[in-house]
Structure 1
Amino acid sequence: MPSPQQARAQASAITSGKTVPEAEAAPTSQLRELFDGPHLSPGQRRIAQYLIENIAEAAFLSITELADRVGVSQPSVTRFAAAVGFSGYPALREKLQTIALRTLAGGPGADEDRANELQAAVDAEIANLENLRRDLADPGRIIDIGRALSASMPLTVLGLRISASLAEYFAYAARRIHPDVRLVTRGGSVAYDALLQSREAGGTWVLAFSMPRHAQETLAAVRVARHAGLRVALVTDLALGPVADEADATFATGTGSRLVFDSYAAPGVLCAALLQAMTDADPERTQARLEEYEQIADQHQFFLRD
């Protein structure tokens, strides 16, 4: 009998193309796409991030109010509107209002107001998962990056500080289907050594995780990877910012921030989606490695028999 992982590898291959043609991208994803193209200054990035995080309210602010909220000048807002392709702030605001109205129309009902703090945290994670679901309506980018990660020999997985937990999960699972996965959870010279050795050994890609609070040493490690000739796929909560600017491919999805410590429901599902894409990229290798692992697990009784 195949293991659950083997069964899923056989039965749940990702199919390319828009599986839900009528699905519209999440509002935050629409905004990230809108702001992701141009090279924005640090002040302009602050404006973009404020709009992403506060779209329902920010879309209806005057230029003066928005400038005050972000802490920039009115001319800065005007230049930002031009930088992202609009004739001026009024044109940008009209676009923002269209997105905001869709958000409000599809937003949670009055029951959310009566939820306690723990329920509100779960509601927020459900919203993050709904947004991720919309983003995955066309899984083409996941498929492409999964193929690239699968082909990288070795594959390096980087996650520092709070991001180490996601990196460890991904690396643990990836080792079942990939022959050489190298996990880096320490920064500084340790990360530098690992990244340089990975490139010298023939590696082509690094999968990096950057969750709040975003660590300076993560940015430094990503820059080292790029300088060494490695390409970087990034899983994070922000499509805009210094780390995302350095990445070759960025997958941005929301994290739960309603409690004292963040939760990672959507990034966890995104990890599983990338792993699925890796299994699909080389199904014969996947099957062989899973079968070999199951034999070893049975021989050494790794797991309880439920």
Structure 2
Amino acid sequence: MPSPQRARAQASAITSGKAGQDSELSPTAQLRTLFDRPRLSPGQRRIAQYLIEHITEAAFLSITDLADRVGVSQPSVTRFASAVGFSGYPALREKLQSITLGTRGGPAEEARGNELQAAVDAEIENLENLRRDFADADRFIEVGRRLSASTPLTVLGLRISVSLAEYFAYAARRIHPDVRLVTRGGSVAYDALLQSREAGGTWVLAFSMPRHAQETLTAVRVARSAGLKVALITDLALGPVADEADVTFATGTGSRLVFDSYAAPGVMCAALLQAMTDADPERTQARLDEYEHVADEHHFFLRD
């Protein structure tokens, strides 16, 4: 067993080694690592982006000056410091100063460009993870069959999740006879869900993307209480909404920019639509043929 003195020396060596590794990174890379928290709000991501792009100057700003530069309140800066793991803004500023004083710096324009490239890299990683998930696609294919058989099929997406729900519903209507899209919460969503169940529907496809809406959780609970089963597409396999769903498909969202990007959830939507088309190929082909006939007749699209 090592002596207390040797143990302290080993711990010091480990800490020094980690500090040495950190010092080898550019200040931009160090800040990206420090601020890489997917649960940051859009306002907090604005603060993070400002600090990344103006590290040399921002590291020495007071909380008042930083709030003014970013265009947020002082409490917002304090909450940001807490969200990235510090006791308050003074502790965060001390860390920023240590990064600034321990680096040679680099062109600001290059740092901004790298930030956009980092966002693309993060989405590539999300897609690679999704590809691995699709290696065992049996559960995914089975849910596609269930959604295809549910008539009507309800698609639920509230707040930021509306765009994904609209995309899915638009495409699903080409291959499914009765798709009902719900993009408003409260009693409007409850009424639509109850009517869907009364009309014979058995499944709801729900989307819940960050920041997760309380309205979505309530709507999913209403759907379950009405006797509908819920398939959920979200970014986290664990959480209140996932706990309420019958089946959850989780895939990462891009969180490097002020607002999330949805490359992997978009691919998941297309794959689930594919599973629905494969579940009833004859109906799919008949509906697609009919749609093309109507589209040609009424000139829906520009001709190449």
What amino acid sits opposite 2:124 in the alignment?
Answer: I
Q: Deviations over 1:80-104 (max 9, x none)?
A: xxxxxxxxxxxxxxxxxxxxxxxxx
For 1:217, which of 206, 215, 218 is the aligned residue?
215
2:205 aligned partner = 207
1:152 aligned partner = 150
2:61 aligned partner = none
CA distance in 1 between counterparts of 2:112 and 2:130 reads 25
Q: Spell out the pairing of 1:45-124 with structure 2 (5 A cutoff).
A: 116-124=114-122
Shift of 1:52: 11
CA distance in 1 between counterparts of 2:190 and 2:261 reads 28
CA distance in 2 between counterparts of 1:114 and 1:260 reads 13
Preserved CA contact (<8 Å) 2:38 2:255: no
2:238 aligned partner = 240
Evaluate the alpha carbon distance shift between residue 70 and residue 285 of structure 1 in structure 2; reply closer, same or farther with a 3 A threshold: farther
Shift of 1:193: 0.1
For 2:131, which of 108, 111, 133 is the aligned residue?
133
Instruction: Give the match's secondary structure for 2:180.
Output: strand
Shift of 1:142: 1.1
1:45 aligned partner = none
Sequence identity percentage: 85
User: Structure 1-normalised TM-score?
Assistant: 0.63
1:227 aligned partner = 225
Instruction: Give the match's secondary structure for 2:206.
Output: strand
What amino acid sits opposite 1:171 in the alignment?
Answer: A
Instruction: Give the match's secondary structure for 1:162.
Output: helix
2:255 aligned partner = 257
1:291 aligned partner = 289
Q: Spell out the pairing of 1:139-218 with structure 2 (5 A cutoff).
A: 139-218=137-216
What amino acid sits opposite 1:190 in the alignment?
Answer: V
Instruction: Give the match's secondary structure for 2:300.
Output: coil
Evaluate the alpha carbon distance shift between residue 279 and residue 163 of structure 1 in structure 2; reply closer, same or farther with a 3 A threshold: same
What amino acid sits opposite 1:157 in the alignment?
Answer: V
Q: Deviations over 1:141-178 (max 9, x none)?
A: 11000000000010000000000000000000000000
Instruction: Give the match's secondary structure for 2:154.
Output: strand
Q: Spell out the pairing of 1:11-50 with structure 2 (5 A cutoff).
A: none
Shift of 1:190: 0.1
1:301 aligned partner = 299
Preserved CA contact (<8 Å) 2:172 2:273: yes
What amino acid sits opposite 2:252 in the alignment?
Answer: G
Give the number of the structure with larger relative contact order, counting CA–CA contacts within 8 Å between residues 6 or more apart. Answer: 1
Evaluate the alpha carbon distance shift between residue 247 and residue 124 of structure 1 in structure 2; reply closer, same or farther with a 3 A threshold: same
Shift of 1:138: 1.2
Instruction: Give the match's secondary structure for 2:135.
Output: coil
CA distance in 2 between counterparts of 1:114 and 1:272 reads 32
1:9 aligned partner = none
What amino acid sits opposite 1:214 in the alignment?
Answer: H
Gaps of 5+ in 1: 1-49, 54-68, 72-112
Instruction: Give the match's secondary structure for 1:239.
Output: coil
Evaluate the alpha carbon distance shift between residue 190 and residue 70 of structure 1 in structure 2; reply closer, same or farther with a 3 A threshold: farther
RMSD: 2.1
What amino acid sits opposite 1:186 in the alignment?
Answer: R
Evaluate the alpha carbon distance shift between residue 52 and residue 114 of structure 1 in structure 2; reply closer, same or farther with a 3 A threshold: closer
CA distance in 2 between counterparts of 1:199 and 1:283 reads 25
Structure 1's consecutive aligned runs of 4 or more residues displaced over 6 angstroms after TM superposition are 50-53
How many residue pairs match? The answer is 201
User: Structure 2-normalised TM-score?
Assistant: 0.64
Instruction: Give the match's secondary structure for 1:116.
Output: helix
CA distance in 1 between counterparts of 2:113 and 2:140 reads 35
1:29 aligned partner = none
